[in-house]
Chains A and B, each alone.
Chain A
Amino acid sequence: MKFIKNLSARQKWGYLFVFPWIIYFSVFLLYPILLSFKNSFLDINLLNPANASFVGFGNWLEIAGDFLFWRSMFNIIYNQLIFIIISFIIGLSFALLLNEVKSGGAVFRTIYFLPVITSITVAMIIFDFLSGPQGPVQSLLINLGILDKGIFWRFSKWLPMPILAVFNSWKWFGVQTIIFLGGLNSINPRLYEAADVDGAGWFKKLFSITIPLLKPQIVFVITINIINGLKMFTEVYMNFDLYGGPHHAGLTPVMYLYAKGFDKMMMGDAATIGVFLAAIIYILTMIELKLFNSNAEDGV
């Protein structure tokens, strides 16, 4: 009581202002996280939570030995490796190109950003038709003699993840282009002039000036990509059954969590996958912050 009495009117208002956060944090963040940890030690069915039984580390051991879970982890890493490489090359290339033009750059930037604001649902429906065995892309490849016959890539063992990586590169490279362009704008042009005097070629300048000076942006983009990539769901949900198709080639960790929780109703297993993934994402975020704080000044 004394505490409240000692507060100024401004501070009393201050507590009113932060009140929504306190409610939100306790009800929608803290409580569910605790529940998640608790559930990861229970055998619990959504429809019958009263009958939950304690299984210790049973769920954890089960997930650790679960082929499908590791297959989903493999898939997402496989996907991300390809996605990060392709989108980095495309994103940086278009940033370099845009950096060269004096007029019209804004028009191109606007166009390159279109896929970013389009929903995954819309983009995936178009992509689905374009990439299908009768779609224009495969027809073109057949006409050029690169393919013998149409491919049902969803049923293939290895193709789904690279193809989704191409889709995501198309969808997201615009963000990277703008971030890299922002970085390029801040590079002192004198550095390039000095390199010109030394007779450095285009590639030499790219690898000894541009890329080193873009390091903060590059680190930022790659870590954000990994963190977002681990959450992939809609892209695979729209293309495969809940277990990722005949070879599980389209299974991602979040979809496996969804399948465990909402198809099999095994909330304990699903919670365990959630906690496990969260731990990985958390560690990656920490690494990102560590890497980033050293460059806080030129951070994005």
Chain B
Amino acid sequence: MAGINMANKKQEINTLNVRMKKRRRVKQILVYGLLIVGAFFVMYPFIFMVMNSFKTGPEIMHHPNSLPDEISLRGYIGVFQSLNVFRLFLNTTFVATSVTIMSTIFSAMVAYGIIKTDIPGKKILFRIILGSLMIPEVILLVPRYMMMYTWEWINTYRVLIIPVAISAYNVFLLMQFMRQLEDSFLEAARIDGANEWQIFWKIAIPMSKPALSTVAILTFMGSWNDFLRPLLYIRDESLMTLQLALFQFKEAVPGQNLEQIWAATTMIAIPVVIIYLLLQKNFVKAFTGISLK
């Protein structure tokens, strides 16, 4: 009697296990299914863009969703004929790189100065930086423009670089990071007779790499993707950055040359996507403050 009962129970547990496994598998399939649907919605606009950049204008109008009949490079050729693509990339890279290098180094210097050099007044400086974090940019828009106007900085590269060559947010992030650097390393170097700049440059900077990469990525992307500042300050085509040029190009291209808009958009979007894919963990961490495995 007892034996039968045991056997029954075992079977019950077995079927329960099988059922649970089945349920788990169904659940997993459902989860992956939904994730794929999400991925499709995210990717679709990009796929749409690349696909249409290889079509001709009329084909885009009539069959926007199909693969191109034959690969047409008319769009790309058109863009190269009417836009100085090389120059635009050069301008944007120059501006974004200058801003990134300056802002990263200056912000690191300030963070180090406040956290590690024990200067009188460091507490006040710290509070000023915290306060500056809370200054909304909108309040600066008009007065900065007026300053730039009177200084005759309008329509120069420096107007896109100097006013953002350091940032409270970057200083803040780096201060938070440098706080965790062991003072004993720095002290050892001090005893060896290194001056403060050498300690900063040879010890603090290499040790702060994770935070520096976050700061550099955010600054570079902010400058690269910036639209408002070039719109306000840049008039000459020769100084224009990609985002502003793309917008003006889109407004100016006649309807029958639709393919050129898609080609230009693709050319501007893809390099960023490639850099992102190469450094994606750093990007995600920079934008969210979270590093996932």
Chain B residues, CB < 8 A from A33: 135, 139-140, 143
- A36 and B117: CB pair below 8 A? no
B49-82: which residues lie under 8 A (CB-CB) from chain A?
49, 61, 64-65
Q: Nearest-CB distance from B16 to chain A (Å)? A: 14
Question: Once bound together, how far apart are the Cα atoms of A53 and B101, in whole Å?
Answer: 42
- A24 and B166: CB pair below 8 A? yes
- B136 and A121: CB pair below 8 A? no
- B125 and A18: CB pair below 8 A? yes
Chain A residues, CB < 8 A from B64: 129, 135-136
Chain A residues, CB < 8 A from B272: 117-119
Chain A residues, CB < 8 A from B46: 114, 126
Q: Nearest-CB distance from B289 to chain A (Å)? A: 5
A195 at interface (Cβ–Cβ under 8 A)?
A: no
A35 at interface (Cβ–Cβ under 8 A)?
A: yes
How many A-B residue pairs have C-beta atoms within 8 angstroms? Tell me: 258
Digit string of A165-191 for contact with B (CB within 8 Å is 1, else 0)? 000001000110011011001000000
B73-115: which residues lie under 8 A (CB-CB) from chain A?
106, 109-110, 112-114
A116 at interface (Cβ–Cβ under 8 A)?
A: yes
Chain A residues, CB < 8 A from B280: 110, 113
Total contacting residues, chain B, CB less than 8 A? 88
Question: Once bound together, how far apart are the Cα atoms of A142 and B265, in whole Å?
Answer: 28
- B287 and A116: CB pair below 8 A? yes
Digit string of A40-64 for contact with B (CB within 8 Å is 1, else 0)? 0000001001000000000000000
- A20 and B166: CB pair below 8 A? yes
A204-226: which residues lie under 8 A (CB-CB) from chain B?
none
- A11 and B117: CB pair below 8 A? yes
- B284 and A14: CB pair below 8 A? no
- B196 and A13: CB pair below 8 A? yes
A97-149: which residues lie under 8 A (CB-CB) from chain B?
97-98, 100-101, 104, 106, 108-123, 125-127, 129-130, 134-136
- B287 and A175: CB pair below 8 A? yes
Chain B residues, CB < 8 A from A253: 138
B191 at interface (Cβ–Cβ under 8 A)?
A: no
Given contacts A18-B119, A21-B125, contact A36 B39 (CB under 8 A): no
- B35 and A179: CB pair below 8 A? no
Tell which of A112, A113, A182, A233 touches B38, judged by Cβ atoms closer than 8 Å: A112
Total contacting residues, chain A, CB less than 8 A? 90
Q: Nearest-CB distance from B157 to chain A (Å)? A: 17
Tell which of B65, B190, B228, B232 touches A136, judged by Cβ atoms closer than 8 Å: B65
- A110 and B277: CB pair below 8 A? yes
Residues of B within 8 A of A (CB): 27-28, 31-32, 34-35, 38-39, 41-43, 45-46, 48-49, 61, 64-65, 106, 109-110, 112-114, 116-120, 122, 125, 128-129, 132, 134-147, 149-150, 163, 165-166, 168, 171, 190, 195-197, 200, 221, 224-225, 227-228, 231-232, 243-244, 246-247, 250, 261, 265, 268-269, 272-273, 276-277, 280, 283-284, 287-290, 292
Apart from A18-B113, A18-B119, A262-B232: 11 A-B pairs, beta carbons within 8 A: A31-B143, A35-B146, A97-B34, A101-B28, A109-B292, A111-B39, A122-B243, A130-B45, A261-B142, A278-B135, A278-B136
